[in-house]
Amino acid sequence: MALPNRNAIWRVLVTGGAGFIGSNLVRRIETEWPNAVVTVIDDFRSGDFRNLEGFRGDLIAQDVAQADLSGYFKPREFDAIFHLASITDTRESDQRKMCWDNIEGFRSVLEYAQASRTPVTYASSAATYGIDGKVNIETDPRKPANVYGFSKVQLENLAQRLMDRPENAGWAVNAVRYFNVYGPHEQHKGPMASMVYQLYLQMKAGKRPRVFKHGEQKRDFVHVDDAVQCTLLAMHSGKPGVFNTGSGAAQTFNDVISELNKALGTSLLPEYIENPYAFFQPFTQADLARSRAELGYDPKFPLAAGVARYVEWLKQTGR
């Protein structure tokens, strides 16, 4: 399925549209498709009104897990649904809360979309892989180490069960498994913002950046612009299933500090501290073979370029 023509009237629903990735997606759609009609659902528990500055669509301030979508919208009101609403605090230990919000919110979206087979692209996570310590391909076993990752596995299971029903043949529901996304409009997340941003704040204040010994843990850091691009490509592929969404390259925290020093014009050395977390991931990296082959996904921002772009935005906005 090709991307719609720039002048097309594209009717889009984005849940979680005031959040980090959601707001970047909304901004991208309204910029590239001036005639797009975008509706955002967000209850602002993990979003921020400033992320929707300049938004010209309709905002519904609701918890998607409790909203009667069929009461708000007609069956064929949208051409595409992006479901990004979620509890994203991976430290949340209330299993009932995490599972209720994430799973039942997605169920509500699917029940509404199923009537008209509206395509749905939803946010999953590399947390579904657990603590593997290897390059992950979409067919790897899912071994979540926390309830957040567990809830995302249940989203994938729910989507797959629906896809397996004969009456749903041809209905495109797919997931983007986000790795470590960083970039503009994550600032409201506080302690749950990316390590790129956390280290930036320390270094901007003239402090030595603090990381766990000895800064050689690796992550697949992916700039939010690349994450949004993969999300759009997944929607317009018309292909069901899951797609890794990363940079395809693992970088150390020491690498991040080095790039931040370059972007900030500083020479701050890291301060290494003990790691108190038994479930801390030593390594994450997305295998992008499927995303490249089936979606045409080609990330544009390796760590050096992504950090430089991000720091420039932070400076311009005074963050």
Active-site residue set: 148, 189
* Cis peptide, bond prior to residue 236, ω within 30 of zero: no
Distance CA 29, CA 33 (A): 6
CA angle, 96 then 141 then 90, to 5°: 35
Beta bridge partners of 15: 41, 83
Pairing of strands 251-252, 218-219: antiparallel
SS3 category, 233: helix
Rounded distance, CA 130 to CA 194, Å? 18
Contacts of 118 (CB under 8 A, 6+ apart): 76, 78, 79, 80, 81, 112
- C-alpha pair distances (Å), 15 with each of 6, 97, 116, 118: 23, 18, 18, 14
